[in-house]
Amino acid sequence: MGQYNNLMNNKITVEVDADLEDLIPGYLRNKQNEIERMTAALAAGDFSAIALTAHGLKGNGAAYGFVPLSELGAALEKAAGSQDGESIGQLLDGMQAYLQRIEIVYIEC
């Protein structure tokens, strides 16, 4: 499962396992909710809540086919550990941008 930048329309094409197709909408909704939760937690200074959510994101992103989400999760977890609010803000922006740019192509495994 790979992903590649589609230079024509600034989209990122992500190849996802066809077995997971019906799980994807729910998954992406969850990720959107996670961005919102982490944003709220950042505003409240609740770094441990951010770390918790980030830990889960790190664990499940790559498995679904979204390797950058796992990387973001790892970075967020680390930033939350050092209470680095600024980095967290940037990472959350990055996550939002990623979710907006992805275009999914289902591949039989």
Q: Which residue has the tokens 């941008």?
A: 97
Which lies closer to another protein via its Cβ, residue 74 or residue 105?
A: 74
Which lies closer to another protein via its Cβ, residue 13 or residue 70?
A: 70
Closest CA to 54 of 27, 28, 24, 81: 81
CB of 18 to another protein, least distance (A): 10
CB of 55 to another protein, least distance (A): 5
Binding site for another protein (CB under 8 A): 1, 17, 19-20, 23, 26-27, 30, 52, 55-56, 58-64, 67, 70, 73-74, 77
CA 84 and chain centroid, separation: 18
Beta carbons of 98 and 8 less than 8 angstroms apart = no
d(C-alpha 81, C-alpha 77), whole Å: 6
CB of 42 to another protein, least distance (A): 20
Which lies closer to another protein via its Cβ, residue 34 or residue 92?
A: 34
Which lies closer to another protein via its Cβ, residue 45 or residue 56?
A: 56
Alpha carbons within 13 angstroms on the beta-carbon side of residue 77 total 14
